[in-house]
Amino acid sequence: MTVDDAADDHGHHLPAVKDFPRGFGEASWWPFITAVGGSGFYIAAAIYLLGEQLVGGVTFALSALIFLGGIYGWLYHAFVADFWSREADHKHEQKLRWGMLTFLGSEIATFGALFVYYFFIRVGASWPTGDFSDVPALVNSVVIFNTIILLASSATIHYAHVALLNENRKRFIRLFGLTILLGVIFISGWAFEYYEFIVQYNYGFFEGAFSNGFYALTGLHGIHVALGIVMMSIVFVRALRGQYSAERHVSVSTTSMYWHFVDIVWVFLVVVLYVGAGL
């Protein structure tokens, strides 16, 4: 890079020079934009709880658009734009994998805190007693179907990665696309379950200690599944554009790690929350 180029790019290194807006002392504004969208979720929740459901819903939708736009810009300029022009750097790939493992560690702590909360409220006075008649049937066909779907998606993303390592791109793309489809089906079943509980059974978020724990854990997991679908969709579009190979697949492997984590958490939820709730 020449002196003039360095001056034009404010001393930044690729891929920051392609970000917008440029300059202003920091390498990229995309993380800031993403953080603004993420903070909007909490603002929307506060507005909703204050009784302004419509304003809260609109705020949540706008925050989601800002958040997803920030994620897209961040990932695109960091990993997508110059994918084939960069040399393979296995040390860099290892750092990215360890970064994903560190992120998953923080997620384990988050879910662990909620599970501790759930076990704590089980000894509380407001826990449902007797035959659990005030709570809808938890172990039902929707939960069983969703469990099968999510476990199947864990298998499809694993074999999609294997196909890529074996340079079978068609099988990789088909299985990866199938994984996304299974994830969308799971989210649809999750939304249908919420609809049944809230609308048909009139079992809302504030019906007692159990409803607090139930919606907190399943809601957080549903958000993680939705984020996983977004991540896989980005990888899928990149795959359709001809990216990834047996030597370049770090995004596929890290996304697969995240999706397996989501599946494992769901198994814990089914065992502890759905099956174990009435015990």
7-45 pLDDT, tens digit per residue, is 444 444 444 444 444 444 446 677 888 889 889 888 988
Model confidence at 72: pLDDT above 60: yes
Please give the Cα distance from 140 to 146 (Å, whole number).
Answer: 10
Q: Average the pLDDT over 204-215 and give the result.
A: 74
Q: Average the pLDDT over 97-105 and give the result.
A: 78
Q: Is 1.20.120.80 the CATH number for 92-278?
A: yes
Please give the Cα distance from 277 to 206 (Å, whole number).
Answer: 17
**Per-residue model confidence (pLDDT) at position 91:** 57
Phi, psi of 87 (to 5 degrees): -75, 150
Please give the Cα distance from 95 to 244 (Å, whole number).
Answer: 18
Helices (H), 122-249: 141-165, 169-195, 209-240
Range scoring the smallest mean pLDDT among 96-100, 106-110, 126-130:
126-130
Please tell me which residue, 133 or 109, carries the higher pLDDT value.
109
**Per-residue model confidence (pLDDT) at position 127:** 60
Task: Report the b/e string of 178-211 with b at 16+ CB within 10 A.
Answer: bbbebbbbbbebbeebeeebbeeeebeeebbbbb
Q: Which two tokens stand for residue 122?
A: 């089980």
Please give the Cα distance from 32 to 265 (Å, whole number).
Answer: 29
Percent of the chain with pLDDT over 90: 26
Query: Which among 154, 156, 267 has a CA at the least distance from the CA of 221?
Result: 267
Highest mean pLDDT among 92-96, 146-150, 246-250: 146-150
Please tell me which residue, 63 or 77, carries the higher pLDDT value.
63
Model confidence at 188: pLDDT above 90: yes
Q: Which two tokens stand for residue 35?
A: 């953080």
Range scoring the smallest mean pLDDT among 1-5, 165-169, 186-190:
1-5
Query: Which among 87, 94, 74 has a CA at the least distance from the CA of 15?
Result: 74
Highest mean pLDDT among 25-39, 50-64, 88-102: 50-64
**Per-residue model confidence (pLDDT) at position 50:** 84
Instruction: Give just the sign of the alpha carbon dihedral 63, 194, 53, 206.
Output: negative
Domain limits, the chain: 1-82, 92-278
What angle do the packed helices 209-240 and 90-121 form, to 10 degrees?
Answer: 160
103-125 pLDDT, tens digit per residue, is 788 888 888 888 888 887 777 65
Spatial contact of 171 and 187, defined as CB atoms under 8 Å apart: no
Tell me how crowded residue 237 is: count the other CB atoms within 10 A of its CB. Answer: 11
Please give the Cα distance from 213 to 168 (Å, whole number).
Answer: 44
Looking up tokens 């390592």 gives 165
Q: What is the mean pLDDT of the chain?
A: 79
Looking up tokens 């800002």 gives 66
148-178 pLDDT, tens digit per residue, is 999 999 999 999 999 999 999 999 999 999 9
Tell me how crowded residue 131 is: count the other CB atoms within 10 A of its CB. Answer: 8
**Per-residue model confidence (pLDDT) at position 11:** 46
